[in-house]
Chains A and B, each alone.
Chain A
Amino acid sequence: MRKDEQIKSLFQRVCCDDNIQAYNELYIALCTRLIHFSASIVSSFHLAEEIVSDVFIALWQKRNDLLHVENPVVYLYVSTKNLSLNTLQQQKRHQHHALDHINPDMLSIAPEAENGMVSAEVSQKIERAIRSLPARCQVIFRLIKQDRLSYREVATLLNISSKTVDAQLTIAVKKISQAIRFDLSDEVAQTFLRIDS
């Protein structure tokens, strides 16, 4: 399921073989995730697109010095975070040491409505439940559910412990579950329960 191995192999081909094809594939595989992450920091998709492009330009320019990088995904997320914070600092001319002004609207996700499992109503309820969570909790949920990072990767990226990641994710799951559990009368859910039991 996880594409980590594929990404590691692409990264290796970029750094060891200067392979531009692998570089393009790596960009395609990761750009939207990184853009959403960056946009949550700088509050602009337009700016985030440029920041992620700059992260990949730096990757190409420094590729031969990056052979020691153990986890390319985390490396690219951390680079994106740092460059986003730098950009914000230049723009607003004051310090942002940590991700304390995150804009979680940029990270909001929900199940695809009308896919047979989830009605549009349930999908909206989930979205609302997520938006009601604290910003950091939303970021963690997004990084795990959508970006498929591991506890350790999220912990490294956000400078928190794996335990905190686990606790925050549990809060998110609880909130979302409670938002939809009263909806088990929902037609789609009923159908599912009947099939399942």
Chain B
Amino acid sequence: MDQERLYALLAREMAGELTAEEANTLQQLLQQYPDASYIREVFAQNWVPAGKQYGPSQVQQLLEKHQLRLQAASLPEETPVTDIAPPRKVWKLYTAIAASLLVLVSLGAWFLRQRPAQKPAPLAQLVTAKRMRSQILLPDGSRVWLNAGSKLDYPEQFAPHSPREVHLEGEAFFIVAADAERPFRVYTKAFRVHVLGTSFNVRAYPLEDSAVASLVQGAVEVILNNDSKQVVALRPNEKLTIPVHPVTTEATTAAPIPTMAALQKSKLTLVQDSIIPETAWVQNKLAFKHLELEKVVVMLEEWYGVKIDFRNNNKRKLYFTGVFETESLEQVLNAMENTQSFTWEKDNTGKIWIR
């Protein structure tokens, strides 16, 4: 019976449930059964799963996969076209407008176009108007959120064994489905991005003086469209800002030739919680961190579809940080005005002036 007692005490010792009194009893029993100390030592060893095992690198992969799933779960539900930030009171009015725009956009979206050269694969195009955003699932399972006033060209079917290529004008957030055989490439005027499986944001509006690639997860390479074809590798939570000559309405030939010196690689930083300003738009949030008022104003113009200008140019370089979700333009401007650093007014054409 002493043996039964020994097993019970070895079990409790392993579970960390041994009392001081039981520890004494165990010591005595171990002297009685010297071979039991070997068994005791075996139980004290580090054991490993006999079947499937996850090593540190697999755990890292699990974490990355989980982060993508978390991100996808935190994003708004899939809707073909979303209307941005209309205050809830006038919802009905906007439904009518949204419905008619939806028809227009869908006509544009599924408009097929033959590519001039080699590839016969039919192209599809998704276009978003100002104040509109859209989300699509590409044929390979990759998901794309297209921000306002943007255009994405993609083939209806990606060819097997060759890179998956899409062309972007404007801003989009990508969660790319992994496929080692077919790397994913995003082409813009200023650069192209090579991807394996990852999530990242590309901002390349033709009227802006810089193009930005921001990486949230995975790894991408950004290849500039200048003579040097310079390659810049991005790591998670880094962004690359490339100065370009904005395309003016008259001169469409102005080629974007960034100089290496002006390239700027920086870290993505959180505004609050888990909100990264570069990708907040995907979650229907307007976010900016330590940003000059003149740039905030451009975001507000896009977001609310209004015109904003400065009466007092000194105010352009004021810095602001903020996150907004359902607030109206007036609420946003009032909140910023509360810092006592500027005032704003609306003229009778609806244009907003900052002074």
Contact = CB atoms under 8 A, between A and B. Distances in A.
Interface in A149-197: 150-151, 166, 169-170, 172-174, 176-177, 180-181, 184, 189, 192-193, 196-197
Contacts of B37: 193, 196
B69 A24 contact: no
B65 A53 contact: yes
Contact of B41 (A54, A176, A192): A192
Nearest to A20: B274
Contacts of B36: 177
A150 B34 contact: no
A27 B273 CA distance: 18
A145 B34 contact: no
A66 interface: no
B14 interface: yes
Nearest to B45: A111
Contacts of A117: 41-42, 45
Contacts of B45: 111-112, 115, 117-118
B14 A145 contact: yes
B93 interface: no
A105 B69 contact: no
Interface string B70-98: 10011000000000000000000000000
A111 B38 CA distance: 13
Interface residues of B, number: 41
A107 B49 CA distance: 7
B35 interface: yes
Contacts of A110: 47-48, 50
A108 B11 contact: no
B48 A112 contact: yes
A146 interface: yes
Interface residues of A, number: 57
DSSP class of B's interface residues: helix, strand, loop or mixed? helix
A184 B70 contact: no
Contact of B43 (A2, A20, A36, A173): A173
Interface in B27-81: 34-39, 41-43, 45-52, 54, 59-60, 62-63, 65-67, 69-70, 73-74
B254 interface: no
B39 A181 contact: yes
A189 B17 CA distance: 27
Contacts, number: 137
B65 to A, nearest CB: 7
B47 A31 contact: no
B306 interface: no
A135 to B, nearest CB: 15
A60 B72 CA distance: 13
Given A18-B274, A117-B42, A106 B51 contact: yes
B282 interface: no
Contacts of B69: 50, 53-54, 57
B8 interface: yes
Nearest to B61: A49
A118 to B, nearest CB: 6
A32 B11 CA distance: 24
Interface string A81-103: 00000000000000000000000
Contact of B7 (A49, A109, A173): A173
Interface string B236-274: 000000000000000000000000000000000000011
Given A35-B54, A146-B47, A173 B63 contact: no
Given A109-B48, A127-B50, 11 more contacts: A18-B273, A31-B54, A45-B52, A57-B73, A145-B14, A145-B47, A150-B16, A151-B17, A173-B14, A177-B36, A180-B38
Please list the 4 inter-chain residue pairs (A to B) with the smallest Cβ-Cβ separation, ordered nearest first.
Answer: A108-B50, A174-B7, A169-B11, A173-B11
27 contacts: A2-B16, A18-B274, A28-B63, A31-B54, A32-B59, A106-B51, A108-B51, A110-B47, A110-B48, A111-B42, A111-B45, A111-B47, A112-B47, A112-B48, A126-B42, A145-B43, A145-B47, A148-B16, A170-B7, A173-B7, A173-B10, A173-B11, A174-B4, A177-B10, A177-B36, A180-B39, A184-B35
